[in-house]
Chain A
Amino acid sequence: MKLKQISIFLENKKGRLKKAIHVLSQSKINIRALSIADTSEFGILRLIVPEVEKARAILEKNQFVVKVNDVIAVEVPDKPGGLDSILDILHQADINVEYIYAFVEKKTDNAIVVIRTENIEEGLKTLKKANANVLSSEEVYNL
């Protein structure tokens, strides 16, 4: 199951991250997971939220540049080498991982990570074939 992620362009300027988070919180949008990619000149804030379209509309209304794309949410066994085993599946299949980040909340005792592979379809197929626990949008939003 693919999961929708929303990415926001952040200029390297004081208060922009806060502003983005603030407009979402004002509209009662619950952030399930987030990561920030930071360069010397700009940042990209990536979020997993239950109401993607609503979040997009609010952000655009507040002059943010926004992009919605697909990522994969996978459960990672909460034991040493848990994440390694997931990454190994992709590595064996020669699938490039662009970035990865963790969820704030946990489902049962296991951690959940968001993975962006270069090719999402292939990444998803490979993980499923190797019996990794790929979560559906519903499962993610109901955490």
Chain B
Amino acid sequence: MIWNKEAECMSREDKESLQLERLKEIVSTAYKKVPYYQERFKKAGIRPEDIQSLGDLEKLPFTTKTDLRDAYPFGMFAVPEEDILEVHTSSGTTGKPTVSGYTKKDLEIWGEVMARALNMALAEKSDRIQNCYGYGLFTGGLGVHYGSQQLGATVIPISAGNTQRQVEILQDFKTSVITCTPSYALYLGEVLEKQGVDIKDLNLKSGVFGAEMWTEEMRDEIEKRLGLLALNIYGLTEIIGPGVAQECPEKNGLHIFEDHFYPEIINPKTREILGEGEKGELVLTTLTREGMPIIRFRTKDITALRYDKCSCGRTLVRMDRITGRTDDMLKIRGVIVFPSQIERALLKIEGLDPHYQIIVTRPHHLDELEVQVEASPILFSDEVKHVEEVKKMIEKRINSEIGLRVNVTLVEPESLPRSEGKAVRVIDKRNFD
């Protein structure tokens, strides 16, 4: 199922010429309409006319989350405010959020790329899409909503939360496609199991899961618990929202809709551009955005690009599942650790629910890593020595995954935060001054 064959199966040659044409235009618009860009370009000694090939993009300065925050609220808009039809925000951990403004055309493009994404994940006109992403300033809810409408499917705009109601609707409306965060999908599966709902009585065929990092093991677990095909979606509010990239049923990476979003991978430290298959920070440039052109945005997401042909027929470049964030990346005793590695180790243990929290401390000038894991009947015993063996076994599994000694603490079930948005997995208590 390919929603827009012309765009999604275009030859590399045609695509590159389209990308170049659009890049020249957006760079020139950004320069003319947004003082921030004009100032930056001038400082770097670049004029829009200097962009004559896709490779010339390298000459342009990066845009960071901080730059966008400094322009709060509407400083990045490239059109008169009256032409902005909708705004969304992306929350940061510190300070003001960043604002994203959409013109009529931007909303159409958003709907288009989301329709492509949903269709890639097997959703069609005849489907009922239960959209459990939050509606509001967060882009998840409305992004899926606009995509469903362009697709012509029936959208169930239930939004996030109220799990009991979600379960009822799943059963009563015979929902065929579900969209939510992967951690909420797992939680929903747990609730279904607890309430004795047989997944065979549900009508789910696929799920579009994103807005947080997840793993292949989590995918297996979600597919087993919900009885569907679980596919990964990627996007960010600064660029447009969900719909920047979507995984096809081949499960070999996420196709980036590169006729609208131009990807690069850089070394986050040296900022040099990396080649195909090399892991680094994803940098995105919007090629068609009217309301708020974004040039070379540093996403902080770590991935790699793959240009070989996908068996699904699409020629769109693929990005690997996000394996970490440049700022999520924990450096513990000099070793780089991603929470996803710990999660991978935990998911391999039978009878363990993948709910965990990582706590980093530095009690005596040396980093200590504690992983809190919820106890479960399979892991528990009446004997202290047995429970301690289980604890040691988990420590050993994590140790072999990350190469660091950790201290595992068993906590009571449901005592760790279950997030309906992004899960809070890491608490870093180290004092870095």
B334 within 8 A of A: no
Q: Could you write out 5 A-B pairs with CB less than 8 Å apart?
A: A10-B412, A63-B415, A98-B383, A98-B385, A116-B382
Complex contacts, A121 vs chain B, CB 8 Å: none
Residue of A nearest to B381 (CB): A67
Tell me the smallest distance from the CB of B111 to a CB of chain A, in Å: 43
Complex contacts, B383 vs chain A, CB 8 Å: 44, 98-99, 116
Of B377, B409, B410, which one neighbours A66 at CB under 8 angstroms?
B377
Complex contacts, A41 vs chain B, CB 8 Å: 391, 409-410
Complex contacts, B409 vs chain A, CB 8 Å: 41-42
B384 within 8 A of A: yes
Q: Is the CB of B388 within 8 A of A39?
A: yes
Complex contacts, B411 vs chain A, CB 8 Å: 11
Q: Is the CB of B380 within 8 A of A65?
A: yes
Of B379, B384, B415, which one neighbours A11 at CB under 8 angstroms?
B415
A11-B410, A65-B412, A67-B381 known, 14 other contacts, Cβ within 8 Å: A9-B375, A9-B380, A10-B412, A11-B411, A11-B415, A39-B388, A41-B410, A63-B415, A64-B413, A65-B376, A65-B413, A67-B382, A98-B385, A116-B383
Measured CB to CB, the residues of A under 8 A from B are: 5, 7, 9-11, 13, 16, 37, 39, 41-42, 44, 46, 63-67, 69, 98-99, 116
- The verdict on A9 contacting B388 (CB below 8 Å), with A44-B382, A65-B377 known, is no
Tell me the smallest distance from the CB of A112 to a CB of chain B, in Å: 18
B168 within 8 A of A: no
B329 within 8 A of A: no
- Interface size on B, as a range, is 20 to 34
Q: Complex Cα distance A57/B31, Å? A: 67
Q: Is the CB of B381 within 8 A of A7?
A: yes
Of A5, A13, A37, A63, which one neighbours B384 at CB under 8 angstroms?
A37
Chain B, 407-428, CB within 8 A of any chain A CB: 409-415
Q: Is the CB of A63 within 8 A of B412?
A: yes
Complex contacts, B381 vs chain A, CB 8 Å: 7, 67, 69
Q: Complex Cα distance A39/B409, Å? A: 12
B188 within 8 A of A: no
B337 within 8 A of A: no
Tell me the smallest distance from the CB of A117 to a CB of chain B, in Å: 11
Q: Complex Cα distance A13/B412, Å? A: 10
Chain B, 366-393, CB within 8 A of any chain A CB: 375-377, 379-385, 387-388, 391
